[in-house]
Structure 1
Amino acid sequence: MRILLVNPYYPIDETPSPPLGLAFIAAVLEKAGHAVRMLDFVVFPYSDEILKKALDDFSPDALGVTSVTMSFNSAIHVVCKAKQFNPSITTLMGGPHVTFSSEETLSQFPELDCIVLGEGDETVVEWAEVLKDRSQWQNVKGLAFRGSAGVVKTGPRTPADVNSLPLPARHLIPLGRYRALGMAISMTTSRGCPFQCIFCVGRKMVGAKVRYRNPVEVVNEMAYLHHLGFHQINLADDLFTANKAHCHAVCDEILTRGLMISWTSFARVDTVSEEVLVKMKAAGCHTVSFGIESGNPEMLKRIRKGITLDQVISAVEMCNHAGVTPHASFILGLPGETPETLKDSIEFGDKLSKMGVQHGFHLLAPFPGTDVRDHLDQYDLKILSQDWSMYHANRAIVETATVTPEMMDDVVIGWEKKYDEYLGDLKILRENGQGTAEQVWPLTRLEYTIWIYDLMMNRVLEDQGTLSFSKDETPDVALGHLAKKITGSIKATEKELQSALGFAFEQGYLKPMVKNDLIQWQWVDFLEKP
């Protein structure tokens, strides 16, 4: 079968990483002998014309689209347009949003033929084998589709053996574009989450039992991603520190090989020890992210977080002793939120900040499948929006009996202003020539990311990147000509463009193709296949 996979649009300010789940799906399909291609509209501009051309060029039997709640509108638009352009194509969606809203989604969108429920690695392979015979879909575990009597769900599938899965098919992803934007690349060392937080669907998606990958294979993958030029690897396990022996084994394998790899991980404050953190630091871990959620003890109990504020303080102190940067995230608008609990979270965040913790505030997004949404009548909470594009956790879409959306937004806006002030201070340092390049690099890299992204999404190099060329021109001169030509295409000066383009060229994100007396500048989209 010929299968076209699509990663729908997702905002750059959400710092997206290459689509790991979709790459796993592509890998198992390729291993089973299917022809697979991928469109990534996170780092390429979307248009109906581009989608139609891809369908015409590849002539796929099926279209598979992934989505989270925030990207669902973009994802279903792709599905509907694909069906319009090719009514005979079979359409499939996966991801947490449709997994937990399958009946509603299938009923609302007849253009969507099928939904993969939960992990899709084994489901999609079996489904692809019977794709043309819909009478056989009922025999494939982990599917939802329309039947004669309504939506059919074929029942849960036993979670896959993570050590039997092929490496993600990253050769199909334009990794070079993510690398140019400075995004981290994600991978997993395990699947599963034993915890039951009321605002999360992780346990429902991947199971309560944690399945661990072979540490040798984990480090092989880390070394490969580092070789591709990614300066930061994000271990995207729900909880990397869930098993002390596994954590030590991965770190020991890195240290034994003498690899200099920079990486981050997620953890709970009640699963770390100074011994583990010291080992992680030695193995290249520079940041550990903790979900704190609230600075109020009663709120932590209400959301079934299972931690205490004393444990948070202890974990931060251990991180500081080990030399690992702790990051803490808070969620505002949880059930029972009051002005007093909001104040507790703000003050606890300030306390952590004084201890060297990077922290941020997000707002509750009651995703389909979360306990807080499924049992809304049990909580002091009102959902104010069903517009999935608003479920980005940056502005309030809920309220409680005593806390309005405006009160919660004010907290987040205040935190955002502090970050803007920090960037403003860096800009003043740079303009006055007082800061070193290293000191102002966070601002410089952010500017490069914005400009490079705008160039990519407006197809500036594709449309204007060809110039006349003299063989005695140096790269700096040629890039200067390019910057001059494209000035005005995005919001950046000629000098700023030349700086960003020079950086991209030096890092290998941008390459020239010379033919006769013409030079064509192109982004390095695809990196080598393992």
Structure 2
Amino acid sequence: MKVVLATLNAKYIHMSLALRYLKAYSGREFSIDLVEYTIKDPPLQVVADLYERNPDVLGLSCYIWNIEETITILRLLKKVRPDLPMILGGPEVSYDVKEWLTRLPEVDFIVMGEGEETFHHLLTVLRDGGEIGEVTGIAYRDGEGRIVIHSPRGKVNLKEIPSPYRFPEDIPHLSNRIVYMETSRGCPFTCQFCLSSVETGVRYFDLKKIKEDILYLIDHGARTIKFVDRTFNLKKDIAIDMFRFLAENHRGTVFQFEITADILHPDVIRFLQEKAPPEIFRFEIGVQSTNEWTNRLVKRRQNFEKLSRTVRMIKESGKITQHLDLIAGLPEEDYDSFRKTFNDVFTLEPEELQLGFLKMLRGTGMRAMAEDFGYIYMDQAPYEILGNRVLPFADVIRIKRVEDILEKYWNHHRMDHTIRYLVREVFPTPFDFFQDFGDYWADKGWSRIGHQLEDLFLRLSQFLQDKGVKDWTVVEGLMKIDYFLAHRHKPRKVWWQVSLSKGEQADWIKKLAEKGKTEQELHKHVMLETVPFDAEMFLSQGMIRNSPSLLVAYYRPEEGEGPLLFSIPLAGSC
């Protein structure tokens, strides 16, 4: 019996850990092909590929990001292979199974919850003609078309699952894809918006085998490994042991973790400050909201003061990238409250701040409570909210504009010096900057057209000048610095009116040539511009002193890095 396991990933770089678990567990007895597509692939192309593989059984892994595309594919495939048993699994179909089987008559079985043992048992019955009624953890239709839902299966012993990380066919792709890995399953917390709250207790894999798998992956070229444990730092001793192991064996591989920052033990923080290799660890920290009443309503325990202290201490070490998450639309958090939440968290200046919107995931307590808080949300995945009794749709739209500008101007780090100055010195709060600019962006219709790097600077410049912000010349000077820093090679043009004539530039090139470089080399690799402040002081100390200077950007193409920036005082110069 030939089995094909398939899924639609959000991006090519993602690798489905779930399918690899199923293949590792059942591949010892069954012939299993694992095939991954993306949600962008043309449906007919996917159907044709699956058809040509000629499976006897097809398993499809379903999530909120791929369920609608998966439905399109399975319906088409069933038309040309009506005899093909189709099995769905994954978090998106593990709940409301009666609704799914009613909506999708093409589907034969749904595997609910953890799938390793259940999927293997189901395959065995399909192959041997056994009794389907003995398979726990599945839903299906009986011979009369009635929907049958079996009792859940008990939790699998994680230490009995073979490694899902050692398939030879994966080796050629490890260097340009993200490897997902887990050292544990389950979550100790009860956040009602998260599916992890449904499963009680935390179970651990064999850490010795996990370390062996990590070394195998590194040996075979893995460049990014993302741990999907809900709280990687739940147990101090395990966290330190794993961090130490990774620090000693990384060989340039980057590791990403989900961290609960307010319970990160001081010993772990101290170890990271002293021993973490630079730019190898990346932490994702869910803050979601700083509104205490909101957190209580969703049964989320969080000490924001401790969280902030941890984030600052990690940031001061300069070794670890931090990605913080916010959720707009949580219960009883209106526009003004979310504005405060945003400002509380942005003040920490994480390398990335992701602003997402509440999703009413199937199986969560939040979805069950939706009516109590007046929620309206999308009928189909991803079930994102459209509003609630304290946050109308109009406010949702405005916050989405904040999200858009935040992503373009902060998370991509195209003009950090400028944004920091604007949110600290020009606008009342960080949120007000992102909101005002987001509203302006929408009013101009820029959301409907694309943009290049130069456009981002031009549009910000236009917004700030139309708004009549104070210290415009200082802001423009900072934007010039950021524009130079945004290029690895000397830019062919700039977005502003150059302040120096060609003759003045030539004179400065001659002066600079006295330092050792030839004039020809400087013309090729140097950009010159004036700014109304001491650029050297700003770059070294972050201070603005009103003393005009010449900004010099020397690009070093042979080093593959950004420019070397320095400045020359203009007072008394040529």
Fold conserved (TM > 0.5)? yes
Residue aligning to 2:328: 332
Deviation at 1:108, TM superposition (A): 1.2
Match of 1:203 among 197, 203, 206: 197
Residue aligning to 2:2: 2
Q: Does 1:193 align with 2:190?
A: no
Which is further off, 299-308 or 407-416?
Answer: 407-416
Check conservation: 1:143, 1:154, Cα contact below 8 A: yes
Equivalence map 1:259-408=2 (5 Å):
261-280=253-272, 282=275, 284=277, 286-322=281-317, 323-353=319-349, 356=350, 358-377=352-371, 379-388=372-381, 390-391=382-383, 397-408=385-396
Which residue type is aligned with residue 65 of structure 1? L
Q: Does 1:71 align with 2:66?
A: yes
Equivalence map 1:31-430=2 (5 Å):
31=28, 33-42=29-38, 45-56=41-52, 58-132=53-127, 136-147=131-142, 148=144, 150-168=146-164, 171=167, 179-180=175-176, 183-204=177-198, 207-254=199-246, 261-280=253-272, 282=275, 284=277, 286-322=281-317, 323-353=319-349, 356=350, 358-377=352-371, 379-388=372-381, 390-391=382-383, 397-421=385-409, 425=415, 427=453
Deviation at 1:54, TM superposition (A): 3.3
Deviation at 1:337, TM superposition (A): 2.3
SS at match of 1:25: helix
Check conservation: 1:274, 1:321, Cα contact below 8 A: no
Deviation at 1:47, TM superposition (A): 3.6
Which residue type is aligned with residue 335 of structure 1? P
Which residue type is aligned with residue 5 of structure 2? L
SS at match of 1:39: strand
CA distance in 2, matches of 1:124, 1:350: 45
CA distance in 1, matches of 2:223, 2:272: 17
Report Cα offsets for 1:40-81 as digits up to 9, x if no partner: 11288344254234323x321110001112311111222222
SS at match of 1:208: coil
CA distance in 2, matches of 1:406, 1:145: 42
Deviation at 1:413, TM superposition (A): 2.2
**Percent of pairs identical after alignment?**
20
Check conservation: 1:241, 1:247, Cα contact below 8 A: yes
SS at match of 1:8: strand
SS at match of 1:345: helix
CA distance in 2, matches of 1:373, 1:221: 38
CA distance in 2, matches of 1:296, 1:44: 38
Report Cα offsets for 1:376-411 as digits up to 9, x if no partner: 23x3132232022x54xxxx5331113123312322
Deviation at 1:365, TM superposition (A): 0.8
Deviation at 1:176, TM superposition (A): 5.4
Check conservation: 1:223, 1:259, Cα contact below 8 A: no
Residues 256/175 of structure 1: CA separation in 2 closer, same or farther (3 Å cut): closer
Residues 369/434 of structure 1: CA separation in 2 closer, same or farther (3 Å cut): closer
Report Cα offsets for 1:219-260 as digits up to 9, x if no partner: 222222223333221111111111122212323444566865
Residue aligning to 2:22: 25
CA distance in 1, matches of 2:239, 2:75: 44
Check conservation: 1:364, 1:398, Cα contact below 8 A: no
Which is further off, 86-95 or 170-179?
Answer: 170-179
Check conservation: 1:4, 1:62, Cα contact below 8 A: yes
In angstroms, what is the RMSD of aligned CA positions?
A: 3.0
CA distance in 2, matches of 1:38, 1:47: 18
Check conservation: 2:261, 2:306, Cα contact below 8 A: yes
CA distance in 1, matches of 2:214, 2:9: 27
CA distance in 1, matches of 2:487, 2:5: 44
CA distance in 1, matches of 2:182, 2:321: 21
Which residue type is aligned with residue 21 of structure 2? F
Report Cα offsets for 1:413-438 as digits up to 9, x if no partner: 22321432355559458997655649
Report Cα offsets for 1:270-325 as digits up to 9, x if no partner: 32023213435635552211111112121111111101221221221332355433
Higher relative contact order (CA closer than 8 Å, sequence separation 6+): 1
CA distance in 1, matches of 2:191, 2:483: 48
Report Cα offsets for 1:165-218 as digits up to 9, x if no partner: 1111664876756854xx5321111111121111011133xx322111222222
Which is further off, 163-172 or 183-192?
Answer: 163-172
Equivalence map 1:462-481=2 (5 Å):
none
What TM-score, normalized by structure 1, do the two folds share? Answer: 0.73
Check conservation: 1:130, 1:137, Cα contact below 8 A: yes
Check conservation: 1:338, 1:400, Cα contact below 8 A: no
CA distance in 1, matches of 2:489, 2:125: 56
Pair member with larger Rg: 2
CA distance in 1, matches of 2:90, 2:401: 30
CA distance in 2, matches of 1:71, 1:92: 15
